[in-house]
A and B are shown apart, each in its own frame.
Chain A
Amino acid sequence: MNNVIEIDSLSKMYGKARGVKQLSLSVKGGEIFGFIGPNGAGKSTTIRTILGFLKPTSGSARIFGFDTVTQSPEIHRKVGYLPADVNFYDSMTAQELLDFSARLHRVEAAERIKQLSARLDLDLSKKFRSLSTGNKKKVGIIQAMLHDPELLILDEPTSGLDPLAQRTFFHLLTEERDRGCTVFFSSHVLSEVQLLCNRVAIIRDGELVTVEDLKEPSVAQYRLVHVRFARPTVLPEIPGVKSVEGDGTEYRFMIQGDVNRLLRMLADNTVDDVRIEEPPLEEVFMNYYTGGTTATKEC
């Protein structure tokens, strides 16, 4: 499977302020690739740089083999982009905007626009300025998809959408993937990353922290533990334990890897209750967001 996006040691500085530093990653054709990180981590900077809005300070990026700096129009022919905040021409109706988008892409998309707007329940006759945030997002989604792109780049795609529209959007994404489209999306909603993505990259402070295959054992090896001891107990140091929260009797923490030492410690103490379960992805990645500190916090 060829790489659709190849980012090689990409750096973007705003004067002395960092945007992204030495970022390298690749996205395979046909996958849904998540891109997550805390606010200000450099997600939007990365997206805007590979789309050609920003010029990199150093490094390079290629999409479909085209250089993102010198060959933007060739890339944009094959890419659909949904920005986090959809700001289109206020005085145009949704229909006019989408027709304009189709003409710029030189495609005949009347039927596709009609289909997508019906599925997303969007009134095309309204002026863009009179649409709600969610409906503006729908216009953005249709605008990104109407020309059957080979790559979708989505920045916070579901923000502003009601649950029904979100569900429709997820169906649309999986249909696009099944059609062979590659999807690169940035989101704060880790549950949707978990639901949709094959792989996910985590960025923090402008640097890539990790790229995880969500089906890989290392991610699957995380467990969330709740334990309540019969008596106040100091939790000993156990390899793999992170993000401990507790009041001396009841504890909540994550453990990665081998659980045998944990089980032996629990067996040596009197335990009122214990739960060991698969954590939501959010809990796993919060470790990466916060640097994976293991401080004990009193509840």
Chain B
Amino acid sequence: MNMVLFKNEMRRHLLAFLIWSVVLPFMSLMRMAEFPEFVRKYQSADQALGEFSSTEIDMFGLDGVDLTSITGYFGARVFSVVVLLGAFYVIMLAATILSKEEDYKTIEFLAVKPLSRTEITVSKIGVVVLYALLLNVALFFASWAMCAVFQQKGYSLKALVLMALGSFLVHLMFAAVGFLLSVFVTTARVIYPVTIGIVLGAYFVQMMANSNGKAKPLTWLSFFTYPNIGKASAGGQLIDIPHLVVALLVITAGFMLAVFRYRQKDITA
């Protein structure tokens, strides 16, 4: 890693990060602000779940979730939106931080400095990982503050931590895929729709796989299904071992393949 490059990249991408780290908590706040009214309307968890069809319960993974607890409500109604939108930010950052250099031809400035290609890619991966982490830290503190303000029967800090970790894991998986993609696709007009398609595709695969027993194996293709938010929102196990292993493999392999491939390719800006 080259710290000069790393710091410069952090500065260059700071504004986008700040915007997302304000907008996402703000959207969470809008939804969390509905919680007091929600619990006034529904006295019990079963009653609250009764508002959803069985298909919706399966699709959004609401089975067993106590919507009348603030962390359950957060997990069911806020978390999925936040992790989805955060995934858009992270995958686009990861997919463009390297590819934009070739698309805009600034790579000629960088590639002729005394930096190896490994230093260039690792420095940029560092920026992506750090911003994904900082985004989830911001979301965690925002969710903590919202739970403290809107809670009525107390809340589980452990549940909030687990959900933040789950979100970070999902974001890292998308980051690894996005970064690997950027080594092969360098034009903005292709990379933006592809990354949006990857995230949306994963989201719809999750819903489809959850709602159709025969399609259950497809959940392996959707990173959103890896953390079990139903259990985590109640302070239970965030992720089972097989899913954790696959997640770590995706993250490691994605980044390592990108670094390796970038060392071999022609820079054709």
A residues adjacent to B (C-beta < 8 A): 48, 51-55, 72-74, 76-77, 79, 81, 83, 85, 87-91, 97, 100-101, 103-106, 143
- Which of these, A54, A88, A103, A104, contacts B266 with CB under 8 Å? A54
Q: Are A87 and B109 in contact (CB under 8 A)?
A: yes
The verdict on A101 contacting B114 (CB below 8 Å), with A55-B264, A55-B266 known, is: no
Q: Mark B214-240, 1 if CB is under 8 A from A, else 0.
A: 000000000000000000000000000
Asked if A53 meets B12 with Cβ closer than 8 Å, knowing A76-B113, A76-B114, the reply is no
Are B4 and A91 closer than 8 Å at their CB atoms?
no
CB<8 Å pairs between A and B, sample of 8? A51-B112, A53-B267, A53-B269, A55-B264, A88-B106, A100-B8, A105-B113, A143-B109
Is the CB–CB distance between A76 and B108 below 8 Å?
A: no
Which A residues lie within 8 Å of B105 (CB)?
85, 87
Taking the complex as formed, is B26 at the interface, i.e. its CB lies under 8 A from any CB of chain A? no
Nearest-neighbour CB distance to chain B for A162, whole angstroms, equals 23
Known: A72-B116, A104-B4. A53 touches B266 (CB 8 A): yes
Is A73 touching B115 in the complex (CB atoms < 8 A)?
yes
On chain B, the residues within 8 Å of A87 by CB distance are 104-106, 108-109, 269
Chain B 188-201 per-residue mask, 1 if CB under 8 angstroms from chain A, else 0 = 00000000000000
B53, CB-defined interface residue at 8 Å: no
Q: How far is the CB of B99 from chain A (nearest CB, A)?
A: 15
Do A89 and B106 touch (CB < 8 A)? yes
Contact A100/B114 with A88-B106, A89-B106, A143-B109 known, Cβ cut-off 8 Å: no
Q: How far is the CB of A277 from chain B (nearest CB, A)?
A: 42
Known: A100-B4, A103-B4, A104-B4. A53 touches B108 (CB 8 A): yes
User: Chain B interface (Cβ within 8 Å of chain A)?
Assistant: 2, 4-5, 8, 12, 104-106, 108-109, 111-117, 119, 264-269
**Does B114 lie within 8 Å of A77, measured CB to CB?**
yes
Which of chain B's residues have a CB closer than 8 A to the CB of A101?
109, 113
Contact A74 B114 (CB under 8 A): yes
Interface contact tally, CB-CB below 8 A: 62
B-side contacts of A73, CB under 8 Å: 114-116, 119
Are B114 and A105 neighbours in the complex by a CB distance under 8 Å? yes
Residues of B with C-beta under 8 A to A83:
108
Q: How far is the CA of A14 from the CA of B57 in the complex (A)?
A: 54
Q: How far apart are the CA atoms of A105 and B5 in the complex, in Å?
A: 11
Q: Give Cα A51–Cα B268 distance, bound, in whole angstroms.
A: 12
A48 to B264, CA, bound (A): 15
Question: Given the complex of chains A and B, what is the CA–CA distance between A55 and B262 in angstroms?
Answer: 12
Q: Are A76 and B266 CB-contacts (below 8 A) given A89-B12, A101-B109? A: no
Chain B residues, Cβ within 8 Å of A76: 112-115
A53, B112: Cα distance in complex, Å: 8
Minimum CB distance partner of A53 in chain B: B267
The residue from B5, B267, B269 contacting A104, defined by CB atoms under 8 A apart: B5
Q: Which 3 A/B pairs are nearest by Cβ-Cβ distance?
A: A87-B105, A77-B114, A104-B113
Of chain B, the residue at the smallest CB distance from A103 is B4
- Inter-chain contact B268/A54, CB cutoff 8 Å: yes
Task: Please report the C-alpha to C-alpha distance between residue A15 and residue B32 in the assembled complex, in whole angstroms.
Answer: 57
Q: Which residues of B contact A90 (CB under 8 A)?
A: 104
The residue in chain B whose Cβ has the minimal distance to the Cβ of A97 is: B109
Q: How far is the CA of A105 from the CA of B4 in the complex (A)?
A: 10
CB-defined contacts of B265 to chain A, threshold 8 Å: 55
Give the distance to chain A from B18, nearest Cβ to Cβ, in Å: 15
B12–A104 CB distance below 8 A: no
Give CA–CA (A156, B104) in the complex, Å. Answer: 20
Q: List B contacts of A97 (CB < 8 A).
A: 109
Instruction: State in angstroms the CA–CA spacing of A52 and B112 once bound together.
Output: 8
- Please indicate the chain A residues that have their CB under 8 angstroms from the CB of B266 in the complex: 53-55
| B111 contacts A88, C-beta separation under 8 Å | no
Task: Give bound CA distance, A91 to B16, whole Å.
Answer: 14
How far, in Å, is A238 (CB) from chain B's closest CB? 48
Are A88 and B109 closer than 8 Å at their CB atoms?
A: yes
Indicate if the CB atoms of A53 and B111 lie closer than 8 Å. Answer: yes
Inter-chain contact B267/A54, CB cutoff 8 Å: yes
